[in-house]
Amino acid sequence: MGLLLTYSVKNLSSRRLTTLFTVLGMGLVVFVFAAVLMLAYGLEHTLVSTGSPQNAIVIRDGSNTETVSILMRDQAGAVKTDPLVALKDGLPVAANEIVVLISGTKRKNGDAANVVIRGTTPEAFVLRPEVKLVNGRMPAPGTSEVLAGASVAKNFKGCGLGEKVHFAGRDWDVVGVFDSGGRSFDSELWGDVEQVQQAFRRPIYSSITVQLRDPSRFEEFKKRLESDPRLTVEAQREREYYERQSRAGTTFIRVIGLAVTILFGLGAVFGAMITMFAAVSSRMVEIGTLRALGFSRSSVLRVFLIESLVLGLLGGALGLAAASFLSFISVSTTNWDTFSELAFRFTLSPSIILGAVLFGAIMGVVGGFLPAYRAARAGIVGSLRKA
Amino acid sequence: MSFFRLLFKNAFRHPLRAVLTVGGVGVAILAFGLLRTVIAAWYAGVESAAPDRLISRNKISITFPLPLAQKAQIERLPGVVGVTHGTWFGGIYKDPRNFFAQIAMESPESFTKFYPEIVVDPAAALDAFGTEPQAAIVGSALAERFGWKVGDVIPLKGTIYPGDWSFIIRGIYTGRKETTDVGTFYFPWNAIEQRLEKEWPDRAGHVGWWIIKIDDPAKAAAISQGVDAAFENSPDETLTETEAAFQQSFVAMSGTIILSLKVISFLIIGVILLVAANTMAMTARERVSEYAVLKTLGFGGRRIFLLIAGESILLAGLGGVLGLVLLWPTVHGVGAMLRQYFPAFPTDPVTFGMGALAALVVGLAAAIFPYWRAMSLPIARGLRRVD
């Protein structure tokens, strides 16, 4: 076995240019394959991690997202006083928030993109302990001071620390920047709930997020709220709420990405076949010699399969290595469910690594199988006579 | 032997290799064409925009409505021929995954006068649109997607406008241009208005955006400024732009995804190049002595280049033809899968042009290395090499 492997690898290095072309071709395919999956996973990961398993979010029934949900003040009171809402210092851990989209201007190219402005209360930081102030200070209550999420501060004009952003007829001072560790909150501006309500002349709430005393009793909480005749609301686990928003985008990326990767992966397989057929036909004499020395047909088949497998694995490793550099890149797209800008990163997961390597290996083996089969079928005498 | 016969014989000397090369280039061109079609589909809205239409929306963001009272004011502005309005409904048909655009339009005139590219069948549907609030006019692609016929009752669950709604399909529309969006569900704005007046009076009397027809596209910028100036410092400031710019802002929202697709489409050309270059590199290695013979016979560098480039362009070109022939049915298949994202999925002649160009460029580029190799090797050494 060791001998066969050395033979295969040495053969590859003896025809360097062809080997290089083939490996590069498959590397490119694996690169795109991994990049597409990293993009979809990054988007999904950002949204899924935004929701906490402890929390539940309540929006108007049928509204699907916070951005179009409308809850009245008295409804908010009824939700907050539910016995399953956790208490801290005797008060419910619940934030009644208003979410509004404003049109922001990107720093990079001046494009317009929608930014979420979330009018919230101090409880928001108890509900979402991962949100940390990293720069500046907290806004003074009852003022037009806002906090900017790390991505918004970086990507949008007027949203950096110490800058002023104008919307709803006012200038808002950005007095602090928070980081939620890559969650979708990083793409939001946070201000005082009453200030935002007044500025937009919308005396309503969009959602109420609560921490549950016992998350396993969520169904009981949901049932009670949804059957309350005073309310027309829908309660969801926060995690599920955000996970659902990732679906449209990730499905799109995966469908397009995989359809294209498979197609041009086929192109690379043809490339590998060309290489392997050439490798076989130029080594007919060697094959004959091996057979004459007593190597079986299946050994010969294995030699060439190993050779093309090595090609595929090299391509896979190369593509994956190149793709892993993408994880330093932060990108943004529109969350079509909420219609707002969402920043995220290309993110690598163990299953993507495994998938990419496997994909490379499969391309190699599929491309190598027919040539290897031809090599194994060759008769001893015929192939020796070729000299 | 004539030059072209030699070229053909060379190209198909290894029939299997030639077939594999053509196949590899073919599927990669197919993948390339598919991606360019998806990219073009994104811009269909921009392409279909008419130069004499302006869109005016709430300056805060598109999610904020505008008061009906603005209509009369806009109509009085110089250069304005007519004003109508559209409103995003955002309802759910059975399941959120069945997404399609639903737009409430003012009147039958909104189509006949403002969107002459929309052809409604039967024409009587337009009369129904003016009199019955439940009358819907749907795009042909949308009707095909769900198997709808004239007379069908379509239930929608409101998100922005709560409650259950139902509409009756009175007509199906097609577009005069291939880029016309034929995936939208139109119904009379009165349907929303009548219900809001009863159930939610303070939300009544609002529209999503103004569609303004102007007399001279060259004055679009001045008229836009005029509209915005009329409402400056009012509670409902507007942002007016040409329809193309309005559509472009939606395209920009998916900027990252489109950029990724563009990058991938060029990486695919890289793969095609590698497959073709691989074949040509092998060819060159095998034919070193032949080139030496040709050079001895007095063939100049130009003839030899034509011979090599001709062979490589022939193979890449056949691959290109194969890919582009397969593109049409593939686009139709994939278009059906992606209907929920793209209301129009045109096969763009530019896409075919780019595919053909890519094949040509690849053919030329793949010839460079073998040519360099053939020319740099001294004749004597070329002749000495025996395979």
Instruction: Return d(Cα B314, Cα B291) in angstroms, integer.
Output: 19
DSSP A221-258: HHHHHHH-TT--EEEEEHHHHHHHHHHHHHHHHHHHHH
User: How far is the alpha carbon of A73 from chain B, nearest alpha carbon, in Å?
Assistant: 16
Helix then strand then coil, % of chain A, to nearest 5 = 55, 25, 20
**Are B325 and B355 contained in the same domain?**
yes
**Are A154 and A251 contained in the same domain?**
no
Q: Residue B46 has which token pair?
A: 């921009």
pLDDT for A1 equals: 63
Of the candidates A64, A114, A266, which has its C-beta nearest B159's C-beta?
Answer: A64
Whether the Cβ atoms of residue B35 and residue B341 lie closer than 8 Å to each other: no
Instruction: Return d(Cα A344, Cα A282) in angstroms, integer.
Output: 50
Confidence of residue B343 (pLDDT cuts 50, 70, 90): low
**Are A343 and A370 contained in the same domain?**
yes
pLDDT for B340 equals: 66
Query: Quick check: B232 pLDDT over 70?
Result: yes
CA angle B107, B111, B113 (to 5 degrees): 100
Range of the domain at B287: 3-44+254-384
Please report how many Cα atoms fall inside a 13 Å half-sphere around the Cα of residue B245, on the Cβ side.
16
Whether the Cβ atoms of residue B343 and residue B183 lie closer than 8 Å to each other: yes
Residue B241 maps to a domain = no
Give residue-wise pLDDT tens across range A174-188. Answer: 999 999 999 999 999
Chain B environment of A112 (Cβ under 8 Å):
249, 252
CB-based contacts of B137: which residues, under 8 Å, 6+ apart? B111, B120, B125, B126, B129, B169, B170, B171, B172, B173, B186, B187
Helix (H, G, I), strand (E, B) or coil at B56: strand
**Are A24 and A91 contained in the same domain?**
no
**Are A199 and A276 contained in the same domain?**
no
Range of the domain at A295: 2-48+245-385
- Please, which residues 98-127 of chain B have a Cβ atom closer than 8 Å to chain A? 99
pLDDT for B379 equals: 82
User: How far is the alpha carbon of B277 from chain A, nearest alpha carbon, in Å?
Assistant: 8
Domain-terminating residue out of B202, B236, B270:
B236
> Has this prediction a pTM greater than 0.90?
no
B178 φ/ψ angles, rounded to the nearest 5 degrees: -70, -25
Q: Residue B260 has which token pair?
A: 């990724």
Is residue B379 within a helix (H) or strand (E), and if so which, with residue range?
A: helix B379-384
**Are B82 and B170 contained in the same domain?**
yes
Residue B294 maps to a domain = yes
Whether the Cβ atoms of residue B217 and residue B224 lie closer than 8 Å to each other: no
Facing residues of A211 across strands?
A55
Q: Do A267 and B25 touch (CB under 8 A)?
A: yes
Q: Do B271 and A28 touch (CB under 8 A)?
A: yes
**Are A91 and A21 contained in the same domain?**
no
Is residue A3 within a helix (H) or strand (E), and if so which, with residue range?
A: helix A2-14
Q: Do A255 and B338 touch (CB under 8 A)?
A: yes
CA B327 to chain centre: 15
- Please, which residues 202-221 of chain B have a Cβ atom closer than 8 Å to chain A? none
- Please, which residues 292-331 of chain A have a Cβ atom closer than 8 Å to chain B? 331
Mutating which of A21, A43, A206 best tests the B interface, going by the most B Cβ atoms within 10 A? A21
Chain A environment of B32 (Cβ under 8 Å):
264
Residue type, A268: A
Give residue-wise pLDDT tens across range B153-185. Answer: 999 999 999 999 999 999 999 998 888 889 999
Query: Quick check: B118 pLDDT over 60?
Result: yes
Query: What is the C-alpha R_g of chain A?
Result: 29
Instruction: Supply the ipTM of this predicted assembly.
Output: 0.81
Q: Do A267 and B31 touch (CB under 8 A)?
A: yes
**Are B176 and B202 contained in the same domain?**
yes
Query: Quick check: B344 pLDDT over 70?
Result: no
pLDDT for A98 equals: 96
Report the interhelical angle of B15-42 vs B349-376 (nearest 10°): 140
User: How far is the alpha carbon of A141 from chain B, nearest alpha carbon, in Å?
Assistant: 24
Give residue-wise pLDDT tens across range A138-162. Answer: 999 899 999 999 999 999 999 999 9
Tell me the C-alpha to C-alpha distance, in Å, between residue B150 and each of A42, B89, B120, B170, B316. 43, 21, 12, 5, 49
Domain-terminating residue out of A174, A197, A231:
A231
Instruction: Return d(Cα A248, Cα B180) in angstroms, integer.
Output: 23
Residue B242 maps to a domain = no
Calculate what percentage of chain B has a pLDDT beyond 90: 49
Q: Do B257 and A200 touch (CB under 8 A)?
A: no
Helix (H, G, I), strand (E, B) or coil at A378: coil
Cis peptide preceding A53, ω within 30 of 0: no
> Which among A266, A362, A269 is positioned nearest to A22, based on CA atoms?
A269
**Are A153 and A225 contained in the same domain?**
yes
Of the candidates A22, A36, A331, which has its C-beta nearest B256's C-beta?
Answer: A331
Instruction: Return d(Cα A42, Cα A31) in angstroms, integer.
Output: 16
pLDDT for B378 equals: 83
pLDDT for A220 equals: 95
**Are B176 and B325 contained in the same domain?**
no
**Are A262 and A342 contained in the same domain?**
yes
Domain count, chain B: 2
> Which among B273, B257, B369, B275 is positioned nearest to A253, based on CA atoms?
B257
- Within an 8 Å CB–CB cutoff, is residue B19 touching chain A? no
User: How far is the alpha carbon of A89 from chain B, nearest alpha carbon, in Å?
Assistant: 37
**Are B10 and B114 contained in the same domain?**
no
**Are B326 and B269 contained in the same domain?**
yes
| Burial class of A83 by CB neighbour count within 10 A (0 to 12, 13 to 18, 19+) | exposed
Residue B249 maps to a domain = no
Domain-terminating residue out of A175, A205, A231:
A231
**Are B229 and B324 contained in the same domain?**
no
Facing residues of A94 across strands?
A210
- Please, which residues 217-246 of chain A have a Cβ atom closer than 8 Å to chain B? 232, 244
Higher pLDDT, B315 or B336: B315
Instruction: Return d(Cα A341, Cα A112) in angstroms, integer.
Output: 10
Of the candidates A21, A100, A201, which has its C-beta nearest B281's C-beta?
Answer: A21
DSSP A254-299: HHHHHHHHHHHHHHHHHHHHHHHHHHHHTTHHHHHHHHHTT--HHH
Q: Residue B236 has which token pair?
A: 């409902």
Please report how many Cα atoms fall inside a 13 Å half-sphere around the Cα of residue B203, on the Cβ side.
18
Interval B226-253 mean pLDDT:
92
Instruction: Return d(Cα B172, Cα B186) in angstroms, integer.
Output: 10
**Are A95 and A219 contained in the same domain?**
yes
**Are A206 and A283 contained in the same domain?**
no
- Largest separation between any pair of C-alpha atoms in chain B: 97
> Which among A133, A36, A80, A124 is positioned nearest to A331, based on CA atoms?
A36
Instruction: Return d(Cα A204, Cα A70) in angstroms, integer.
Output: 6
- Within an 8 Å CB–CB cutoff, is residue A365 touching chain B? no
Q: How many CB pairs under 8 A join A and B?
A: 170
Chain B environment of A333 (Cβ under 8 Å):
253-257
- Please, which residues 148-187 of chain A have a Cβ atom closer than 8 Å to chain B? 167-169
Whether the Cβ atoms of residue B247 and residue B45 lie closer than 8 Å to each other: yes
Residue B134 maps to a domain = yes
pLDDT for B131 equals: 94
Q: Do A339 and B63 touch (CB under 8 A)?
A: yes
**Are B192 and B303 contained in the same domain?**
no
Of the candidates A18, A28, A114, which has its C-beta nearest B267's C-beta?
Answer: A28
Domain-terminating residue out of B177, B209, B236:
B236
pLDDT for B342 equals: 75
> Which among A289, A306, A288 is positioned nearest to A369, based on CA atoms?
A306
Instruction: Return d(Cα A139, Cα A145) in angstroms, integer.
Output: 5
- Please, which residues 24-83 of chain B have a Cβ atom closer than 8 Å to chain A? 24-28, 30-32, 34-35, 38, 59-64
Of the candidates B20, B63, B341, which has its C-beta nearest A252's C-beta?
Answer: B341
Whether the Cβ atoms of residue B308 and residue B284 lie closer than 8 Å to each other: yes
Residue A312 maps to a domain = yes
- Within an 8 Å CB–CB cutoff, is residue A266 touching chain B? yes
Query: What is the C-alpha R_g of chain B?
Result: 29
Residue A278 maps to a domain = yes
User: How far is the alpha carbon of A69 from chain B, nearest alpha carbon, in Å?
Assistant: 7
Chain B environment of A246 (Cβ under 8 Å):
none
pLDDT for B102 equals: 96
pLDDT for B1 equals: 57
Domain-terminating residue out of A231, A256, A280:
A231
Chain position carrying tokens 């990054």: A42
Residue A251 maps to a domain = yes
**Are A75 and A195 contained in the same domain?**
yes
Chain position carrying tokens 């995003």: B88
**Are A313 and A171 contained in the same domain?**
no
Residue of A nearest to B268 (CA): A264
Q: Residue B375 has which token pair?
A: 């020319």
> Which among B72, B45, B16 is positioned nearest to B175, based on CA atoms?
B45
Whether the Cβ atoms of residue A86 and residue A212 lie closer than 8 Å to each other: yes
Domain count, chain A: 2
Of the candidates B16, B261, B271, which has its C-beta nearest A29's C-beta?
Answer: B271
The 8-class DSSP code of residue A164 comes to E
Residue B74 maps to a domain = yes
Domain-terminating residue out of B236, B270, B304:
B236
**Are B232 and B302 contained in the same domain?**
no
Tell me which residues of chain A have a pLDDT lower than 70.
Answer: 1, 386-387
Interval B19-28 mean pLDDT:
91
Residue type, B13: R
**Are B180 and B311 contained in the same domain?**
no
pLDDT for A6 equals: 85
pLDDT for A281 equals: 82
Q: Residue B58 has which token pair?
A: 């709430």
Facing residues of B188 across strands?
B105
Task: Could you list the beta-strand ranges (E) of chain A.
Answer: 55-60, 87-88, 91-92, 94-105, 112-120, 132-136, 145-149, 164-167, 170-179, 188-192, 207-211, 233-237, 330-335, 340-345
| Burial class of B386 by CB neighbour count within 10 A (0 to 12, 13 to 18, 19+) | exposed
> Which among A168, A147, A146 is positioned nearest to A101, based on CA atoms?
A168
Mutating which of A187, A247, A264, A344 best tests the B interface, going by the most B Cβ atoms within 10 A? A264
**Are B192 and B280 contained in the same domain?**
no
DSSP B59-77: SS-TTS-EETTHHHHHHTS
A368 φ/ψ angles, rounded to the nearest 5 degrees: -90, -15
Higher pLDDT, A21 or B339: A21
- Within an 8 Å CB–CB cutoff, is residue A114 touching chain B? yes
Residue B79 maps to a domain = yes
The 8-class DSSP code of residue A85 comes to B
CA B292 to chain centre: 50
Whether the Cβ atoms of residue A352 and residue A38 lie closer than 8 Å to each other: yes
Residue type, B366: A
Chain B environment of A253 (Cβ under 8 Å):
257
Q: Do A32 and B252 touch (CB under 8 A)?
A: no
Instruction: Return d(Cα B47, Cα B248) in angstroms, integer.
Output: 10
Residue of A nearest to B163 (CA): A62
**Are B200 and B281 contained in the same domain?**
no
> Which among A214, A272, A162, A199 is positioned nearest to A55, based on CA atoms?
A214
A349 φ/ψ angles, rounded to the nearest 5 degrees: -130, 160
**Are A177 and A28 contained in the same domain?**
no
Residue-level length of chain B: 387
Residue type, B104: A
Give residue-wise pLDDT tens across range B268-297. Answer: 888 888 888 888 888 887 888 888 888 888
Residue B260 maps to a domain = yes
Chain position carrying tokens 């399969």: A305
A280 φ/ψ angles, rounded to the nearest 5 degrees: -70, -50
Whether the Cβ atoms of residue A258 and residue A354 lie closer than 8 Å to each other: no
Instruction: Return d(Cα A242, Cα B183) in angstroms, integer.
Output: 27
Residue A53 maps to a domain = no
